[in-house]
Structure 1
């Protein structure tokens, strides 16, 4: 089934959630429902334009933004936190992109058709999904298919076309099986050209991508399932106007094995054991897909991750307990190779000098339900972090750094090995004020270790800091929510005091861009509302506001989204549906510019308003047609969030101008 949607449907899902205790946990299934959890039979849910990747899909959620570097590879930002401040988990597996400059964040490898459910957890509200996650956790999940006894198969085929970029997309999701087991195959291919922005200017954004997933599950016993899967994603000829390089290829392979066993009684009621391996190979260069510069450079990179988790469910005198351990080991290697002239084949810089980060965690969280209907939930985890780099003494053989080593670039901060002992946890209390109103309060601490780029980047204009301390986030959040038959809303306010926030400075001189620990604050509000006007009309609204402050010098943090809002009206009657949504962003004047406070913001970004239309018709239970126009008035605009290229230059990439699209879906 096609997994694409509008900002309206996400706002609906968040506000009407009955299984989530607050707006901070949003669960959506495919297709996107108007309630938080829906079965796969509910195919009448609201849908809109196809998303280019998982990051594009997520950023219509209230409180979630994203930075654009090209036609895909949208890097999500939740409440002003980004990159490794978010835990992004693909059906149980961690995958870290192969580009030091994040041409390929993990969401790039999430083909829209390949996952049944997306869960967005804003802030630190759980300890079972791995270390860190101060900004939130993004779970892309698959569900075990269920078959009728007289129909041992199911399938969906979808074809879509997007006019502005001349994008053709074809996908299929096919499964067969019984109560004893199943086999499922999911495939998607997209071929996109460059798009025009609202000014009519061509944005270099074309790409080709293909993904395939093969899944198999076997019931070993009445309460025991063994499931295995293999995912392969290939990206070719991906152009990036927001970078000094393009990507001729970027490929990932992911293997998973899961065991799920439920007991018939005893202290442990359920055991889930999972192992995975994800390998990413990526190439970026500045000559094969664009006019070569005077200095031709290529950067072949790899990022390989191995990990697993043991999760146990128990019950202690009425208390629900989840506990266990997890481990992940990510190894990254990347060099900047000079590709032309007399120095061809020499090393001009090392982005990742054979860096391995191992994180082993022990965790547990327990829920206590009170007679009044209130819930108290407490969680804690301990993580042992071990970091090693193997090439920090390797000598650069070409370019302006010839004769130096990465350790020379780091200077007095050089350290090839690091060990950390990190403690995280939370306490959450949900109070039912009345049948209509509930109040939730959460206090949490989360610790995020510095990643390979922040520690060990070593180029002429971009330098890591091996001595970085881990970020320590201490957050307080309050949520007030109201639910009635026709009107639901929620308001969340949060404050995050960060000790040792890892801050990247701009590249202003020969010393290059570098990383430092500072103290910072992040605070803001999320508001969501859904009003069922009548049986055919539904109005929804979402507002997100966040601010970031450097406590050391009282300046603004870089790359903080402005005040944003969505307003949507949807109509549905019988087989016909239609919707209009208005995306609004205020101007962002609270910036940290390179020439001001040595930050990464490009400019003070003007505000914008964009109108999108969509409509659909179900010919029968098996065939449906959807179409629409995004950016109806051809507005020229860009998100405030931008990217920095390998040379430290920052740029904003304009969003697509007026874009018509159409999608035909057949189910059987």
Structure 2
């Protein structure tokens, strides 16, 4: 069954609105189910096969929210990181570097326009070219769900997320039936792919201990022509958490994690030979504090990223050996409180973050080059107008500052700061004329330039002494609207957006690297549907399109993924599930040559292509599940439009895209006790 769906669902017909405690949707997940046919967000059927996902949602929650269950999902079993997961969802794509650590893009928007959080925390990497972007160390096995809020339609999770807010989350530990659990899996595949994962937890109603370890490795892959593409990687992660639950309404959890790895990049002049990341988080949650005070939550986070890149450890090169070490230290915190009344619900909170970035040619020479601070206050209010309509609104204010800590730049020692405001209002409705939920929202976001956009040394397009002085905050005003339909064996959804971005931050590579502001227009849509053909057969499809224009030059915005569609067919019977996916991508001829972002730029138009994947699952028992798949079954040779041109060190001519993997076979075994 398909497991990509919008969260907004219909209340059963002719039923009154329940009391507030039951207004939240109930997600009932049947054990050991297989989910994704391919990347779409089709809503799950309320009545489906016995081993399929069952979703019951008596009232709309937030139609702009998409939730993806990451458990028991064959198409995600071969994912290497968070970007690979997100790229399966309509509207998302990723700038490829090689075999792993792609950088996600949503609706053509990149970087800090897309907030990516893991267990409530947001942490950027250290690499000045985003080798270690926030999604690089997200292992799909480690999380149970990813939640996506499209557009500027929430203010709860930090400033500046104009494109979307993405949260990878774990389910709460539950030891009501037994006092332990153990999950283990292994995956093998083409090109030396070998993944291992082990997670276990013990506990009772008073507390728990959870341990996790995973590793993933692969050699260089071959494209459809049989040519080797430099792409090998080897990385690992581990974590431990201890939780205290003195009663059913209280949780206090301390979690620590550590990971490292290395990766070869076909599209870069250097490889990543160290990706050390250390994190710690203290989380507190208390529910039902009073008649109307529903929840108090607090979280404090620490993160450290230590990154080394060089051109000699993972590759042979005649060029002069070069290496650079960089690190980033992040401290952040958030406190929020929720109050409920009969017709209103309000969330109030504060958050803050401070970062220090250092760089050097080696460990001994590492020195601070950039620091920043942010403090914000936010609120979201939901007004339940009647049984079928609700209005959601939000507002946040932030104070953000950044300092050029270098001594060799024109802005050495200077600090710049801004007061930023963001907000939205959204109407959500159950239609009386048809079994559908609709929404329309207007959002506004002011986004402070991130480190990569104003890092010391970047030149300015505006004529200022450098980008640190010249690049202004980005201001996005956007309308989001959509509809979710569900009746009997048919469900479909449609979401669209149109926005105006003043002071859009643009990279220009035509004359070295320059960064500046332009005014832009953006628009696009995503759609998906699912139809249950019979008790055993179902089909679905999705399509996504994004468009952008530079209003200053009346030309295309760069780094916009082309039109993409997917069609899938699934067969389920008892313990078996078989899936097939046809992915079709159009050519992209709306390009802005030599313009882009910190990772990639438009260097040529791209060609259309199509690929076909198959995968299957056999539920051997309630404990063990076997999965296997073949990606790019017909061994097509193709490259993505969002492609960091291949490095000349590996024999690629200037502005030549490297190809994606050819036929890839994989198999896995999963056991849950």
TM-score per shorter chain, which class? 0.7 to 0.9
1:245 positional shift: 0.3
2:371–2:404 contact (8 Å) kept in structure 1: yes
2:526–2:545 contact (8 Å) kept in structure 1: yes
What TM-score do you get using the length of structure 2 for normalisation?
A: 0.87
- CA change 1:285–1:48 in 2 (3 A) is closer
1:464 positional shift: 3.7
- CA change 1:108–1:604 in 2 (3 A) is same
1:561–1:640 contact (8 Å) kept in structure 2: yes
1:198 positional shift: 1.2
Q: Does 1:156 align with 2:159?
A: no
1:265 positional shift: 1.3
Q: Deviation digits for residues 338-372 of structure 1, max 9, x if unmatched? A: x9xxxxx9x9xx9x952112111100011011224
- Report the equivalent of 1:505: 508
1:295 positional shift: 3.1
Return the match for 1:482 from 478, 485, 510: 485
1:90–1:141 contact (8 Å) kept in structure 2: yes
- CA change 1:544–1:595 in 2 (3 A) is closer
- Report the equivalent of 1:642: 643
1:227 positional shift: 0.5
1:5 positional shift: 6.9
- CA change 1:609–1:2 in 2 (3 A) is farther
- Report the equivalent of 1:253: 278
2:95–2:103 contact (8 Å) kept in structure 1: yes
Gap regions ≥5 residues in structure 2: 1-30, 47-54, 649-653
Q: Does 1:382 align with 2:397?
A: yes
Q: Deviation digits for residues 358-395 of structure 1, max 9, x if unmatched? A: 1111000110112241110110000100111211x2xx
Return the match for 2:314 from 286, 289, 294: 289
- Report the equivalent of 1:108: 136
Is the deviation greater in 208-217 or in 435-444? 435-444
Mapping of residues 361-440 of structure 1, within 5 Å: 361-391=376-406, 393=407, 405-407=408-410, 416-434=414-432, 435-440=434-439
2:39–2:88 contact (8 Å) kept in structure 1: no
- CA change 1:502–1:20 in 2 (3 A) is farther
- Report the equivalent of 1:571: 571
Gap regions ≥5 residues in structure 1: 33-44, 340-344, 394-404, 408-412
1:7 positional shift: 5.6
Mapping of residues 141-540 of structure 1, within 5 Å: 141-149=169-177, 151-163=178-190, 165-236=191-262, 238-316=263-341, 318-335=343-360, 354-391=369-406, 393=407, 405-407=408-410, 416-434=414-432, 435-458=434-457, 464-506=467-509, 508-509=510-511, 512-540=512-540
1:8 positional shift: 2.2
CA distance in 2, matches of 1:259, 1:48: 31
Return the match for 1:83 from 111, 130, 140: 111
- CA change 1:13–1:184 in 2 (3 A) is farther
Mapping of residues 583-622 of structure 1, within 5 Å: 583-594=583-594, 600-622=601-623
CA distance in 1, matches of 2:379, 2:595: 46
- CA change 1:121–1:651 in 2 (3 A) is farther
SS where residue 12 of structure 1 aligns? coil
- Report the equivalent of 2:153: 125
1:568 positional shift: 0.7
Is the deviation greater in 581-590 or in 636-645? 636-645
Q: Deviation digits for residues 612-643 of structure 1, max 9, x if unmatched? A: 00111111111111111000011111221123
SS where residue 245 of structure 2 aligns? strand
Count of residue correspondences: 622
SS where residue 665 of structure 1 aligns? strand
- Report the equivalent of 2:42: 12
CA distance in 2, matches of 1:556, 1:260: 46
- Report the equivalent of 2:651: none
1:24 positional shift: 3.4
2:266–2:647 contact (8 Å) kept in structure 1: no
1:296 positional shift: 2.4
Is the deviation greater in 562-571 or in 255-264? 255-264
- CA change 1:481–1:95 in 2 (3 A) is same
Q: Deviation digits for residues 99-135 of structure 1, max 9, x if unmatched? A: 1111111111112221121111221111101101101
2:34–2:577 contact (8 Å) kept in structure 1: no
Q: Deviation digits for residues 522-549 of structure 1, max 9, x if unmatched? A: 1001111111111211111110001110
CA distance in 2, matches of 1:387, 1:15: 49
Return the match for 2:84 from 56, 59, 79: 56
CA distance in 2, matches of 1:496, 1:379: 18
SS where residue 442 of structure 1 aligns? strand
Q: Deviation digits for residues 23-45 of structure 1, max 9, x if unmatched? A: 6321123415xxxxxxxxxxxx6
1:14–1:27 contact (8 Å) kept in structure 2: no
1:15 positional shift: 9.2
- CA change 1:353–1:605 in 2 (3 A) is farther
What TM-score do you get using the length of structure 1 for normalisation?
A: 0.88
